[in-house]
Structure 1
Amino acid sequence: MVSCRDRDPHPVLHEYHQSGDLIVGGIASQAFIVVSPTTFTEPPIAVPDDLVYEVKLSSFGFVVIAKNYQHILALGFAIKEINENPQLLPNITFGFHISDSYFSAKWTYRTTMQLISTLERLVPNYICDQNNMVSVIGGLDSPISLHVATILDIFKIPQLIYGPAPVMNDKTPGLPFYQMAPKEALQYAGILSLLLHFNWTWIGVFTMDDDNGEKFVQTVAPLFLESGICLAFVEKIPVITFVTEIEDMVQGGEERFDRVMASKANVFVTYGDSYSMVFVIWFPLLSRNPNMTEKLKGKVWIMTAQMDFTSFVFQTDWDMQIIHGSLSFTIHSNDLPGFKLFVQSRNPSSTTGDGFITDFWQQAFLCTFPNTVVGKVDGVICTGLEKLENLPGSLFEMSMTGHSYNIYNAVHTVAHALHVMSSLRFPHRALVDGGELKFHSQQWWQLHRFLQSVSFNNSAGDLVSFDQNGAIVAGFDIINWIISPNGSFHRVKVGKINPQAPKNQMFSIDDIAITWQSWFNQVRPVSVCNDYCYPGSSKKVKEGEPFCCYDCIPCPEGKISKHEDTNDCYKCPDEYYPDKNRNSCIPRDISFLSYEESLGICLACCALSFSLITALVLRTFMKNHNTPIVKANNRNLSYTLLISLLLCFLCALLFIGRPQKLTCLLRQTAFGIIFSVAVSCVLAKTITVVLAFMATKPGSRMRKWVGKGLANVIILSCSLIQASICTVWLATSPPFPDVDIHSVAEEIIVECNEGSITMFYCVLGYMGFLASVSFMIAFLSRKLPDSFNEAKFITFSMLVFCSVWLSFVPTYLSAKGKYIAAVETFSILASSAGLLGCIFLPKCYIIVFRSELNRKEQLIRIKS
C-alpha cells in the first residue's frame, strides 16, 4: 500500500506554497531545463533512493527567464490584497500553490497533477488530505495552457489563462478555461490597422515553428491580402528541446538571415511565445558580415502581445539596438498601488517557502549562495541584499507587465466569484465549523456559473468582466520600445486598440510620439516591394509576382491619379480637366464667343461698322433716289438688298455672347432667311440686267418681263423656300443651348446645338444654290453693255461671296469651341461686305465724288 507521506521520486523542482482555507493554483513559466538527449547507448546508473533528488538537481541545467518571476510576485500580491480586504470573503484565507511548467509538456502535466493532489505526494485521483484547490491560474504560453486544461477538464476545476488562448481542435472541444488576455482576433485587426496606417505593404513574418505559428499565418495571410498587404517571406523560429539543437539552429539561422536581408521588406511582424525575444536578440549574431548586421538596424519589428522584452542573463551585454524603435502590442495594464513596495521588499532571506527565488536571484545578479553548492564557492557570493530595481529592464521590471496584470486580475476574479457564490443560499454551499465558513471541494464545478457573470473594478480602477465566450473584455496598448546606448530601455505608449469604441475609432496611434531607428533619420519607414507610383501614374502588376510588386505607368490622356499607388486612373468630373502632370483636376473655363474678349469685340465692332456703312449707303441712295445711277437696274431692288445686308451685319451679333434659347432659335434661321433675301436680290438684279439687254433688241418679247413684278416674284419665291425650310427645322428639331465637354479638354463650351444637322446643311445648301445660280448668270452676262458695269460688279461680288462660303465649310468643320461661332460670324461679315463693297461702293463713289457722271446725258452718251 502506498503512503501519502512517501518520498516522491520525481519531485517538482521549483514550487511556492502558502497555506490557506482556499488554494489558488499557479502554473509559472520561469525556467528552461537544458538537457542532452538520452541516447540509450549505456545502461542507467543505479542510484540509492536517498540520493535521487540530489542527482536530479545536479543533472539538470536551469536557464531562468528572470523577468517571469514578476508573475509569481503578482499572484502573491493579489492573494495578500484579498486576505487583507475585510469586505471580500471575510473569515476566509486565501493561499496558493505555484509550480513551474519549465516550458515543457511533460513537466506541465506533472505540475498540474501535483496541484490537484496533496502537497507531499503525487497520487492521481486519490486525495490523502483535504485539498481546497478552487482554480488554477495559467499558463503563460498557449501550449502550456492546453496541457493544463486537458487535466483540469476531468476535474471541472476552473482555469484562468493569463496568456493567449490555446489552439483548439476537434480533439479538445469545450475545455473549461477563462481567457484573461484580449482576443487574438482583436490583435490581428490591430496589426492590420497599423500596417495600413503606415502604408507598409511588403512585410516579413516570423513565427514559432508550432501549431500556433501555423495558425497565425493561415489567419492573417488572407486578411492582409484582402487589404493589399503581401508577405515577402515567412520564417519559422525553431523550438529548441535539447542543447545539441542550438548548433543546428545557428547553422540554419545563417541561411535564414541571408534570405531575410535579401528581401526588400523593412517591417517584420513577429508572432511567438513569451520567450521568442531571446531568439530575436540572437538574430544579428547569425551574420558574419558587420555591414549586414548594421543594415538590420534599419528594420522595424512589430511584436505581438505574447512576446515581452526578455533575455537570458548571458544576453544582457549583447547589442540590442535592433529592437530600438520597435512597436509592440501589449496587454493593457495599470500601476497598482503598493505593488512596487511589495516587490522591493522581496529577497531570499525575507521569503519562506519560495522555491523560485534562489535560482532567480543567482542568475539575475550573477552570484551564488554558499548553501546551494558543495565545496568551494567560485565567483561572487549572493548577500540577499541586492536590489531588484538595479537589474536591467530586459531581466526584470519593477512596474507591472501585462501578463502580471492578467494574473492579478485572474486571482481577484476568482475571489469575487467565490464571494458571490458564498453570499447565495445554495443547499450544500457550506458548512459552519467553529463559526467559520468552510467550502466543500466537490462544489468547484459550480464556480463556473459565477465566473461567467463576474464584473468588478480592480484597485487600479479598470473594469474586469468576461464576454459570452469566457474572454475578458479588454484591449491592447501599442508600445514603442526605446533602447538606450547603455542597454537600458523604457516603454512609450503611442497608441491603443479599444474594442468598446466605435469601429472607425478602435485603432488610434500618435505618429509624433514614435521614436524610429536612427537609420531612418526620424522619417517614417517605408516597406514596399518597389517605389511608390507617384500621382499621375497607376500600378501595373508584374506578371508572375505578387500584386504588391508592380510597375508604374503614366495615366492615359484625359485621366488623372491624385494619390500614390492608385490601381487605376480616373476621369475628372465634367466641370474639370487634367493638368499637364495628370495628378489633379483644374476647373474648366466656360467658353463662348464673348463681348468681353478681343475676338468678340473685334467682330462686334466690324458688324456695327459695316451696319453703319450700309446705313450710310442706304441713306445716300435714298437721298439721290432720282439720279440715274440709283434708278438704273431697279431702285427698289437696291433698297431691298441694302436693307437685307444691313440685317445680315446685325445678324452677326446673334453669334456673339452667351447662347440663350431665343438667340439659338434666331441664329441660323435669321441668317438663312436674310441671306436668302440678299442673294435673291442679287439674283433678281442679275436677271434684270440680262432681260434689260435682251429687251432692247428689236421685236423682243422680253419687254413684258422687264419691271418690278419679276424682281419681286424672284425675291419672294426664293425667300419663301428658305423660310419654309427654316419653319420645318424649327418645328421638328429646333436649335437649343447646349454644352460641349469633349471638344476642348480645358473648356466647357457653351454653344447652340443645331438640333438637326441635316436641316442646317439644307439651309446652307439652298443658300449656296442661289449664290451659284446668281454667279453663273452674272458671269455669263458680265460682257453685256451697261452704263455702270452692273453685271461685272455682280459677278465679282458673287465670286467673293462664293469663295467665302466655300472656304467656310472646311474651316467650320475643323474649328472647335467658340471659334465655330467666330468662323460663321466672320463668314457672314465677309460675304456681306463683299456684296456691299462690290455692288454699291463704286456707285457711291460716283454719287459722292463723281457727280458729273451721274447724269442722264452721260448715261445716253455711254449707251450710244
Structure 2
Amino acid sequence: MTYFYHAYSGHIPSNVSIATGDTRTEMSGWWKMSRKKTSECFSILYYRYVAAMMFAVDEINRNSHHLLNHTLGYVMYDSCYAEIRALEVTMRLLSVEKMVPNYHCGGYSWPIAIIGDSPSASSLIMARLLGIYKYPQISYGSMLPLLGDKQQFPSFLRTTSNFTVQVVGITQLMKHCSWTWIGILASDNDIGREGSQDLLLELAKRGICVAFQEVMPAYKSESTLHKIVSKIKVSLVKVIIVYSTQLHLVPLMEEVTLQNISDKVWVAPSHWGNSLVFHIKDNWKTLNGTLGFTKNNPEIPGFQNFVHSIIPSTVTSDIFLNLFWEAIFHCKWLTENISTVSVQENLGSTTFCTGTESLKTIQTSVYESYNFQEAVSTYNAVYAVAHSLHNLLLCDSKDVTSKNESCANITSFQPWKLLNFIKGVHFMNTAGQEIYFDMNGDMPTQYDIQNFQFFQNGTSRIIKVGFFKSWAPNDEQIQIDTAAILWNDGATKVPQSVCSESCGPGYRKSTRKGQAICCFDCIQCSDGKMSNQTDSNDCIECPDNEWPTSEQSKCVQKTVEFLSYKEPFGASLAVVSICSSAITASVFCIFIRFRDTPVIKANNQDLSYLLLLLLFLCFLCSLLFIGHPETVTCAIQQVAFGSIFTFSISCIMAKTITVIVAFTATNNNSFMKKWVGMKTPGLVIILCSLGQIIICTAWLSTQPPFPNDNIKIKPGKIIAECQEGSSVAFACMLGYMGLLAMLCFLLAFLARKLPDTFNEAQIITISMFIFLSVWTSFIPAYLSTQGKYMVAVEVFAILASSAGLLCSIFLPKCYIILLRPEKNTRKHITGKANSSAK
C-alpha cells in the first residue's frame, strides 16, 4: 500500500496519503479527537482543496493507463493554520505511532509524497524536516521565495509561483499605468511582510516610490486601523497595494468604507482570491475599480459535476463534508445528542440538514468564496505525483535488474527515490495546462488581471482585463486592455498617482531635497542641451553640428554662418570691391592715355603705374574674404592682403624718398645726386617688402591659415571661418605693415614743406594719415566682433584704406588731367607760370 499525504490548510490545513493497491481513505484518531477544533476553524474557502484532491485521486484510479493497474490511497490531516500542528503531523508520518523519529514497525506503508501545506510558515517547518530524508513535498499554496532555495529545501516543490513572480507582475502594472507614487498595506504575517519587502525592492529598481507602508495588526485593533485608514484618506496617493490575507482584509475594508474613501485604486495580489470583501455590498463603492491578480486556473473537466454529485450519505470517509454541508446550506446536522424535545424547541429557529440537498441549486459566481477553480493547484500536485509514479513504473518494468538509482521496485522503495521523477515531470493536465517544475521547484504561472466593476443600478461584476506571464520575455510579460477597465467613480481614463507631474520634453527632473526621487521639480534644459523624453533625469548635449530647437525637445542642424555673396551685406562689399577695382583700372587707363603730360611725368611715372596696379589688386583681394572658406582661399587671403599692401606702402615710400632725393640733389655738392634715377625706388621697394615676404613665407611654411567650423562662438550656429593658424605670424604681418606705414608717414610729413607747386609729399602725408587711421580703428573693431562680422570689418578696412590711397594720391592728378587741362603744363608744374603772371 503506497500512501499519499495531503496537508490541507486554510483555516484548516490537512494532510493525506495515497496508496497503490486498493483505494482507501484513512482518518487518524488525532483528527477525531480534534473534531471540535476543526469545526471551529473550518471554512468553505479551503474545502475546495480537499475536493480537488479527492477528485484527482478518483480520476487517476479510474484510468488504468496512469499507474498500470495500481491505485492511490490518501490520508488527510488538519494543521488548522498552526505551525506546531503541521510539525506534529509531519513527525507522525515519519515516526508512525510512537512519535519516535526514524522508528517504524514492519508492515507500515510509508506515504510516497506529501501534498501541502498551504501557509508558507507551515511549509517551512515541514520542508526543513522532510528535506533531511529527501521526502517529496509539493505545496499548493506556499509562495515564500525562500522555499525555492534548493540548498535548504532540496525536496520542496510547489504548483504555484513564489512571491517574486507576482511582485514583478505588480511592478509592471505600475509601470504600464505610469503610477509612481503608491501606498502599501501589509498584513502581519509571512504573506504581508515577505511580499511587501520584495515589492519594495522591485519598485525601487523601476524608480517607483512608496509614499507610505503600513502593517495591519494581526488582531483587530480599531484604533490602529483608524490611524492607518485616516492616513490613507489624507494622502495624495491614488493607488494602494494590499498584501494581506482575508483575515486582515475584511476589517480594513470595513473601516475604509466607514470613512467613505472611494477615490483609491486598490491592487489586490492573489492572496485576496475571491475574497469575502466582495460579498459585502457596502464595500462595492469602495472597491470599484480594484485590479486583482488571480492565478490563471483553467476549469477542470468533470470537476464541477463531481462536486455537484457529492452527497453526505455516499461519502463516509470525508469528515469535512458535514462541516462543508452546514456552511453551504446554513443548516445543522441532527445528532444523537440532540433530543426530540430540543429539536421541537429549536425547530423554529434552526434548519436541520437532511443530506438530500443538492449543490446544483447553489448559484456559484466569481464573488463567492467556494469557487472551485482555485483548487487546480492541488489537482496539479496530485497529478505530478501520479505521473512521476507512472515514470517510475516504466523505468522498473524496462530494466528490473538495473543498478541505476533512479529506478526502484514499486512494491518496496523509499520516497526519496521518487523525488527525481517528480522534478522531471512534464505533462498537460486535462484542462490543457502545461505542468512542469523549474530548477527552483516552482511551476511557471500565468496571472489574470481582473477588474471589479460596480454599477449605479446596484449590480457588479469582475472581468478579466489582462494577464501576466512569468515565462515570457520582459517586454511581453504583461498585457492589459485599459479600455475595458472601469475605474473608481465610473471613470474610463487611467487615474494618475504621482508625487509630481511629469516633466515634458525640453525639461529635466530636479529632485526635491529630503524627499523621494519621485517628488521633483521640472527645470528647463540649459543652452545647448535638450531632452526628447518625458521625465528625463538629465539633459543631453546635441552633436557638434546640431543645436536644440527653441522648445529644446530635439536637435536640428546648425545654421552655417559666413560672409556670403548671397546675403546683402556680403553682396554689397563685393560690389564695392569690384566697383573700386573698376575705378582704379579707369585711373590706370587715364594715366596710360595721358602718360606724356607733365602731371604724369612729374612724380615718377613708373611708380604711379605700379601703385595703381597694386591698388587694383588690393581691391580685388577683398573678394578672397567673401564666400565659404576653402583651403586655398584661407591659405592665401591674409598673405595676399599683407603682401599687396606692403608692396603698396613700399611704392609710396619710394615716391616719398624720390621727392626728398630730388630736392636734396639740387645742391651741386650733395652726395644724393648719385641716388637720382630708377635704382633708388626699386631698391626701396625691394628692401621694404623683403621683411613681409620673409614673414609670410615662414607663416605658410609652419602654420598656414586653414578653414575651420567654429561651434563655440555663437550658440546654434556654425561659424565657417579661416583660422589664422599662427596668431603670432598674423600679428607680425599687421605689425610690419603698420611700422612701414608709420615710417612712410613720418618721412612724408617731414618733406611736406619742400618748395614745389604740386608737392607730392603733402599728398603722401594725407594718404598715410588716412591709411593709419583706418587700420588703427580696425584693430579694436576686429577684436570686438565675431563670425562673419569680423571678416566684414577686415574687408571694410581693406576697401577703406585702399580707397583712401587711391583718392588722396591719384584723384588730384585726374582732376587736373580731365577738368583743368590748362594746369597740365610744365610751366605750371614747375611754378614758372605763376612767376610770369606776376
Whether the 8 Å contact between 1:25 and 1:98 is mirrored in structure 2 is yes
How far 1:681 sits from its partner (Å)? 1.6
- Tell me which amino acid in the other structure corresponds to 2:632: L
How far 1:236 sits from its partner (Å)? 1.3
How far 1:379 sits from its partner (Å)? 6.7
Mark the CA change 1:262 to 1:726 in structure 2 (over 3 Å): closer, same or farther.
Answer: same
| Segment drifting more, 55-64 vs 229-238 | 55-64
Name the residue aligned to 1:464: 435
- Tell me which amino acid in the other structure corresponds to 1:310: S
Name the residue aligned to 2:165: 186
| Segment drifting more, 489-498 vs 392-401 | 392-401
How far 1:277 sits from its partner (Å)? 4.5
Mark the CA change 1:440 to 1:792 in structure 2 (over 3 Å): closer, same or farther.
Answer: same
- Tell me which amino acid in the other structure corresponds to 2:300: L
Whether the 8 Å contact between 2:254 and 2:283 is mirrored in structure 1 is no
**What secondary structure, in the 3-state scheme, does the structure 1 residue paired with 2:795 have?**
helix
Query: Can you list the C-alpha shifts for 1:320-378, whole angstroms capped at 9, x where unaligned?
Result: 3444434444434333333444445556677654444454455456x325637853252
Alpha-carbon distance in 2 for matches of 1:172, 1:721: 90
Whether the 8 Å contact between 1:741 and 1:748 is mirrored in structure 2 is yes
Are 1:310 and 2:275 an aligned pair? yes
Determine which of 225, 228, 238 is the counterpart of 1:256: 228
Instruction: Kindly report which structure 2 residues correspond to 1:466-485, keeping only aligned pairs within 5 A, or say none.
Output: 466-472=437-443, 474-485=444-455
How far 1:832 sits from its partner (Å)? 1.1
Name the residue aligned to 1:509: 479
Alpha-carbon distance in 2 for matches of 1:162, 1:218: 22
Determine which of 114, 118, 122 is the counterpart of 1:144: 122
Determine which of 64, 71, 89 is the counterpart of 1:86: 64
- Tell me which amino acid in the other structure corresponds to 1:180: T
Whether the 8 Å contact between 1:312 and 1:395 is mirrored in structure 2 is no
Alpha-carbon distance in 2 for matches of 1:76, 1:60: 19
Whether the 8 Å contact between 1:64 and 1:359 is mirrored in structure 2 is yes
- Tell me which amino acid in the other structure corresponds to 1:371: L
Query: Can you list the C-alpha shifts for 1:173-205, whole angstroms capped at 9, x where unaligned?
Result: 436321212244333444444444444333322
Are 1:391 and 2:367 an aligned pair? no
Alpha-carbon distance in 2 for matches of 1:777, 1:446: 119
In the superposition, the TM-score normalised over structure 2's length comes to 0.85
Alpha-carbon distance in 2 for matches of 1:629, 1:53: 142
Are 1:320 and 2:291 an aligned pair? no
Alpha-carbon distance in 2 for matches of 1:648, 1:520: 83
Query: Can you list the C-alpha shifts for 1:802-848, whole angstroms capped at 9, x where unaligned?
Result: 22212211221122222222221222112112211222223223322
Mark the CA change 1:160 to 1:393 in structure 2 (over 3 Å): closer, same or farther.
Answer: same
How far 1:218 sits from its partner (Å)? 4.6
Query: Can you list the C-alpha shifts for 1:596-639, whole angstroms capped at 9, x where unaligned?
Result: 22222222222111111111111111111111221121111111
Whether the 8 Å contact between 1:340 and 1:398 is mirrored in structure 2 is no
The percentage of aligned residue pairs carrying the same residue is: 37
Alpha-carbon distance in 2 for matches of 1:369, 1:731: 114
Name the residue aligned to 2:747: 777
- Tell me which amino acid in the other structure corresponds to 2:736: Y
Query: Can you list the C-alpha shifts for 1:424-449, whole angstroms capped at 9, x where unaligned?
Result: 3389999xxxxxx9954763332213
Name the residue aligned to 2:210: 231
Q: Which runs of 5 or more structure 1 residues have no equivalent in the other structure?
A: 1-20, 34-51, 241-245, 431-436
Are 1:336 and 2:300 an aligned pair? yes
Determine which of 467, 470, 481 is the counterpart of 1:495: 467
Alpha-carbon distance in 2 for matches of 1:528, 1:109: 46
Name the residue aligned to 1:371: 334
| Segment drifting more, 520-529 vs 583-592 | 520-529
Are 1:725 and 2:695 an aligned pair? yes
Are 1:828 and 2:795 an aligned pair? no
Instruction: Kindly report which structure 2 residues correspond to 1:300-699, keeping only aligned pairs within 5 A, or say none.
Output: 301-311=266-276, 315-345=279-309, 353-364=317-328, 367-369=330-332, 371=334, 374=343, 375-378=346-349, 384-385=357-358, 387=360, 390-396=363-369, 400-401=373-374, 404-425=375-396, 440=411, 443-472=414-443, 474-485=444-455, 486=458, 488-499=460-471, 501-502=472-473, 504-505=474-475, 507-510=477-480, 512=482, 515=485, 517-518=487-488, 521-696=491-666
| Segment drifting more, 515-524 vs 454-463 | 515-524
Alpha-carbon distance in 2 for matches of 1:151, 1:508: 38
Whether the 8 Å contact between 1:477 and 1:493 is mirrored in structure 2 is no
Alpha-carbon distance in 2 for matches of 1:239, 1:127: 43
Query: Can you list the C-alpha shifts for 1:223-281, whole angstroms capped at 9, x where unaligned?
Result: 443443333222113334xxxxx3xx222101112233344433333334476543553
Alpha-carbon distance in 1 for matches of 2:46, 2:625: 89
**What secondary structure, in the 3-state scheme, does the structure 2 residue paired with 1:136 have?**
strand
**What secondary structure, in the 3-state scheme, does the structure 2 residue paired with 1:443 have?**
coil
Whether the 8 Å contact between 1:736 and 1:752 is mirrored in structure 2 is yes
Whether the 8 Å contact between 2:5 and 2:76 is mirrored in structure 1 is yes
Alpha-carbon distance in 2 for matches of 1:417, 1:231: 45
| Segment drifting more, 169-178 vs 454-463 | 169-178
**What secondary structure, in the 3-state scheme, does the structure 1 residue paired with 2:276 have?**
coil
Instruction: Kindly report which structure 2 residues correspond to 1:145-294, keeping only aligned pairs within 5 A, or say none.
Output: 145-149=123-127, 152=130, 157-166=135-144, 173-174=152-153, 176-240=155-219, 246=220, 249-273=221-245, 277-279=249-251, 281-285=253-257, 288=259, 290=260, 293-294=261-262
| Segment drifting more, 708-717 vs 274-283 | 274-283
Alpha-carbon distance in 2 for matches of 1:837, 1:28: 115
How far 1:209 sits from its partner (Å)? 1.6
- Tell me which amino acid in the other structure corresponds to 1:721: G
How far 1:672 sits from its partner (Å)? 0.6
**What secondary structure, in the 3-state scheme, does the structure 2 residue paired with 1:206 have?**
strand
Whether the 8 Å contact between 1:117 and 1:131 is mirrored in structure 2 is no
Alpha-carbon distance in 2 for matches of 1:729, 1:438: 100
Instruction: Kindly report which structure 2 residues correspond to 1:40-51, keeping only aligned pairs within 5 A, or say none.
Output: none
Are 1:27 and 2:7 an aligned pair? yes
Query: Can you list the C-alpha shifts for 1:747-796, whole angstroms capped at 9, x where unaligned?
Result: 11222111110100110111111222223333344444444453343333
How far 1:856 sits from its partner (Å)? 2.5
Alpha-carbon distance in 1 for matches of 2:122, 2:285: 31
Whether the 8 Å contact between 1:429 and 1:443 is mirrored in structure 2 is no
Alpha-carbon distance in 2 for matches of 1:840, 1:154: 117
Determine which of 669, 680, 684 is the counterpart of 1:714: 684
Mark the CA change 1:74 to 1:445 in structure 2 (over 3 Å): closer, same or farther.
Answer: same
Alpha-carbon distance in 2 for matches of 1:316, 1:379: 24
Alpha-carbon distance in 2 for matches of 1:825, 1:269: 74
Mark the CA change 1:385 to 1:216 in structure 2 (over 3 Å): closer, same or farther.
Answer: closer
- Tell me which amino acid in the other structure corresponds to 2:426: S
Alpha-carbon distance in 1 for matches of 2:451, 2:105: 49
Whether the 8 Å contact between 1:478 and 1:496 is mirrored in structure 2 is yes
Q: Which runs of 5 or more structure 2 residues have no equivalent in the other structure?
A: 14-29, 402-407
- Tell me which amino acid in the other structure corresponds to 2:122: I
How far 1:644 sits from its partner (Å)? 0.7
How far 1:651 sits from its partner (Å)? 0.9
Alpha-carbon distance in 2 for matches of 1:723, 1:690: 26
Mark the CA change 1:65 to 1:490 in structure 2 (over 3 Å): closer, same or farther.
Answer: farther
Name the residue aligned to 2:405: none
Alpha-carbon distance in 2 for matches of 1:53, 1:132: 19
- Tell me which amino acid in the other structure corresponds to 2:331: T
- Tell me which amino acid in the other structure corresponds to 1:318: D
Query: Can you list the C-alpha shifts for 1:636-661, whole angstroms capped at 9, x where unaligned?
Result: 11111111111111111111122121
